[in-house]
Amino acid sequence: MEKNTSHINQPVCEDVDYNRFKNTVSTSDDDPSELPENVENFSKIIESRIAKCNSGETPTRLEKMTEEESFFLEAVMHLSKLTNTISKSPSAGSTLLSRTNMVLQRAMTFMEEELRTLLEDFGGRRSNSKVDKNPEFEDYPSYPLEVVTRMNRIATAMISAGFETACCQVYSISRRNALYEQMKMIEFEKINVDDVQRMSWDSLEGEITRWINVARSCSNTLFPGERRLGESVFSDSPMISQSLFNNLARSIVIQILDFAEAVSRTKRSAEKLFKYLDIYDTISDLIHAISESLSFNDSEHELKSEILATRDRFGEAAVNIFCDLENSIKNDAARTPVPGGAVHPLTRYVMNYLKYACEYKDTLKHIFKEHAKLAAMSPSKWKSSVDDHVDKESESPQDVAETTPLTAQLMTIMDLLDANLEAKSNLYRDSSLRDIFLMNNGRYILQKAKGSTEVRQVMGDTWCRRRSTTVRQYHKNYQRETWGRVLQILSHDGMQVNGKVTKPVVKERFKNFSTMLDEIHRTQSTWVVSDEQLRSELRVSISAVLIPAYRSFCGRFRQYLDNTKHSDKYIKYQPEDIETLVEGLFDGNPASMARRKA
């Protein structure tokens, strides 16, 4: 058993008979008597490859797998099997076992360096291979397909030969370093908690935007790319691939979460809602990106729980911000009315806030649904809030808002805003101006809701129609309050005394009409209806009742003043002047009357 071993420690650099190698591979496990010769054949293949590379005779950085390298890797795996056989056979001899162990150790050191070289020197190259054309990974540094194939063969050989730890260590260190470099390229910077707490919101907003870009790059590009690379290199060992990705992802995720944790501890305010929701969505994407590969053993479950806890803190903050909004509406008790009955700043603020908030409606639906569960809120409680605004028997299902905690929340806010505006309308002494104020604000709310697809989807068409009905009712109230009195003057009733029309009554009616019209114009030309369509609708509706009534009154009674001295003192306006007067209403311009007289 000791024969042919005198040269085992000599470097082998001569050419190897590869046909003989193929025969050795096919018979290596068949005949124990051939064991020493087979060991020597495999050892020569291995040492020849190492010696040639060390001498510079064979380039070590070929991307494509050569036949010689293929034989080398096969020889390593077969020599590893023979080593196991020898170790179990006392008759094989310690010298032969020492020989195989030494050759394998040299092979492992060589393959470690080969794998490290491939990982570090070929990453980031663009390949023309179709496998790299997936747009999802377009921005991720990719390896040529030939290099991935070589790394796969080397990793398989190392793992098969029992050097899994060394293989994983080389891969993990190289890819971790590459990932950190990628993080630097996408401007990831560590910011400690104290710095975050001291930042102004404007500065922190910029840092959050940068953080979101980094986290999304990880979710959309880096993590999927790392997972794909690991699955390719360790295609024969999916559990190893999964473990390596878990460790890589964990090291990056922990750094990403540190910043989010710090932000979640800053004082909340309404202006922060939208960035909070961006962070919530970004963390959700991160969870999805790593969940596809995480096996979720105890440590991975701990990581996912930590990620979810961070995300849920932003969800909780969003819910609390809506509660703060409710309180701010309740507590907004202005003592001075808005000039001209215009849209109140509170209405603008709330509606614009909700408009932007509803752009995150899917996120908010999830947040409020989870909050309702945690708060042990029964569905009947928040459903009743929605049902109060809907007559389900008279509405088709597609018109009714989806019954969700988010819909209930928004309707609560709308109800609070309505109550606040109703209270503010009482600041106006003129009941007509009170109606204009409510009409203006109601119209603004309606237009904002109808103008936003997201708000309309949350609130439902039924809610919008009911709002429209309410605005029309304010319109009718205004018209009745203001113009009902004018139309009463133009009534033909009471014009006769003892069956005859008398000049004093006619004079009094025309004079009262002119005086009242002047007063209305003087006052209501300063009122504000900023919505162009509403302003036009108001003017048209006024003209539609006023002009025919005045024309009829003039046609019937002005003849009694035709021969009266200074008749224009009483008949101040012609029917065609009325439309011009009406057009001057609701401009918010106190000078319009003076210009008309000029």
Q: What is the pLDDT of residue 3?
A: 39
Token pair belonging to 59? 């380039």
Shortest CA distance to 155 belongs to which of 194, 192, 116, 181? 116
Higher pLDDT pick, 69 / 488: 488
Residue 119: partners with Cβ closer than 8 Å, 6 or more residues away = 151, 170, 171, 174, 175, 178
Nearest-CA neighbor of 23 among 68, 59, 71?
Answer: 71
CA neighbor of 311 nearest in space, from 274, 272, 289, 285: 285
What pLDDT score does 400 carry? 47
Q: Burial of 194 by CB count in 10 Å (0-12 exposed, 13-18 middle, 19+ buried)? A: exposed
Of 284-298, 478-492, 532-546, the poorest mean pLDDT is in 284-298
pLDDT of 60 strictly over 70? no
Among 12-16, 165-169, 277-281, 363-367, the least confident range: 12-16
- H or E element that contains 356: helix 345-358
Of 181, 161, 44, give the one whose Cα is nearest residue 112: 161
Closest CA to 329 of 346, 344, 345: 346
pTM (two decimals) = 0.77
CA atoms within 13 A on the CB side of 509: 24
H helices within 359-430, ranges in order? 361-374, 379-387, 405-425
pLDDT of residue 275: 96
- Asked whether residue 28 carries a pLDDT value surpassing 60, the answer given is no
**pLDDT score recorded for residue 568:** 73
Given a cut of 70, whether residue 269 has pLDDT beyond it is: yes
pLDDT number for residue 109: 81
Mean pLDDT of 538-565: 89
292 against 20, higher pLDDT: 292
Specify the pLDDT at position 353.
96
Whether the predicted pLDDT of 127 surpasses 90: no
Residue pair 150/63 in contact (Cβ under 8 Å)? The answer is: yes
> What confidence tens digit (pLDDT) does each residue in 189-235 have?
888 888 999 999 999 999 999 999 999 988 888 888 899 899 999 99
pLDDT at position 93 is: 56
Output phi, psi for 460, to 5 deg. 90, 155
Q: How confident is the model at residue 141 (pLDDT cuts 50, 70, 90)?
A: low
User: Does 594 score more than 80 pLDDT?
Assistant: no
Determine the average pLDDT of the residues in 75-83.
68
> What is the pLDDT of the chain when averaged over all its residues?
81
Query: Of 285, 63, 255, nearest to 153 (Cα)?
Result: 63
**Helix 223-233 vs helix 238-264: angle between axes, to the nearest 10 degrees?**
160
Per-residue pLDDT for 91 more than 70?
no
Highest average pLDDT, of 70-79, 83-92, 177-186, 494-503, comes from 177-186
Closest CA to 387 of 470, 469, 467, 462: 462
Q: Report the share of the chain in percent with pLDDT over 90.
A: 47
Please report the pLDDT score of residue 48 as a whole number: 61
pLDDT digits (tens, 9 = 90+) for 409-451: 999 999 999 999 999 999 999 999 999 999 999 999 999 999 9
| pLDDT, position 548 | 95
Reported as a single tens digit per residue, the pLDDT across 458-514 is 999 999 999 999 999 999 999 999 999 999 999 988 887 777 888 888 888 999 999
pLDDT band at 85, cuts 50/70/90? low
Sole residue written with tokens 């319109």: 475
User: pLDDT tens for residues 350-389?
Assistant: 999 999 999 999 999 999 999 888 765 545 444 555 555 5
- Residue 453 is predicted with a pLDDT of 92
